[in-house]
Structure 1
Amino acid sequence: MRMLCASTLIGEFFVIGFAGLVAMKSDDLSMTTVWTVCGVGMLLSVLLSGMVTRPGGVQLGWALQIGLVLSGFVVPMMFVLGVCFAGLWWASVHYGRKIDEVKARWAAQGEAQPGA
């Protein structure tokens, strides 16, 4: 699960950065505001990629997904990208757990058959 979720979060790091570049063109927002919000989001995505398997890591990832979707109110294309990444996040968590279960079964079978 960790690898899939971390890959999704690192992809979000870049998307948040590019969204910041688009948001900079808005006359309603100052550059300081845009890069403070984007910087926090980018930092959070990198930090979460390292703590996905810790307690609360997946829930914090969901919070980041909600923030990414809500950023569509500033950069409308982020509604689409936010939903896409929320779907990727769900798939990473769901299928990552299944992969972890299969790996655990294989490891248990390997321990049960020491000569194999």
Structure 2
Amino acid sequence: MRSLASIVLGFESIVIALSTIVMISIADVDPAVALSVCLGLAALAIVATGLLRNQVGYVLGWIVQAGAIGLGFVVPVMFVLGLAFGAFWVMAIVLGRRIEEAKRAHQSQAG
């Protein structure tokens, strides 16, 4: 589960960081605000990736998902991207748990 979640957060951090440019040039957001919000959220995604060994990382991951969707209020296309990454996040958790359960079942049969 951790590897799938880290992939989602890694790609999401790149997309969120690049949305800074969109916020400044298209949405006419103050550059200081755009830089602090977008790069702060991207940094939070990276921190969450590093903390995925603990439950804290997953909580931070959910906060990143909410923040990415929230950016849609400033740049409407971020609603789509935020929801897409939110769906990827949910899929990573659900499929990751299934993979871990299958590994445990396989190990118990082999052992």
| d(CA) in 1 for partners of 2:14, 2:56 | 23
Larger Rg: 1
| d(CA) in 1 for partners of 2:106, 2:50 | 25
- Partner residue in 1 for 2:3: 3
| d(CA) in 2 for partners of 1:102, 1:30 | 49
| d(CA) in 2 for partners of 1:40, 1:3 | 23
The unaligned stretches of length 5 or more in structure 2 are: none
Letter in 1 for 2:3: M
Report the identity percentage: 34
- Partner residue in 1 for 2:13: 13
The unaligned stretches of length 5 or more in structure 1 are: none
Q: CA deviation at 1:57?
A: 2.3
Per-residue displacement from partner, 1:46-97 (whole Å, max 9, x unpaired)? 1111222312322221121111111001111000001111100000000101
> Comparing both structures, which one devotes a greater share of its residues to helix?
2
- Partner residue in 2 for 1:68: 68
Normalising by structure 2, we get a TM-score of 0.91
Letter in 2 for 1:32: A
- Partner residue in 2 for 1:87: 87
| d(CA) in 1 for partners of 2:106, 2:38 | 42
Normalising by structure 1, we get a TM-score of 0.87
Paired residues in the alignment total 110
Greater CA deviation, 31-40 or 1-10?
31-40
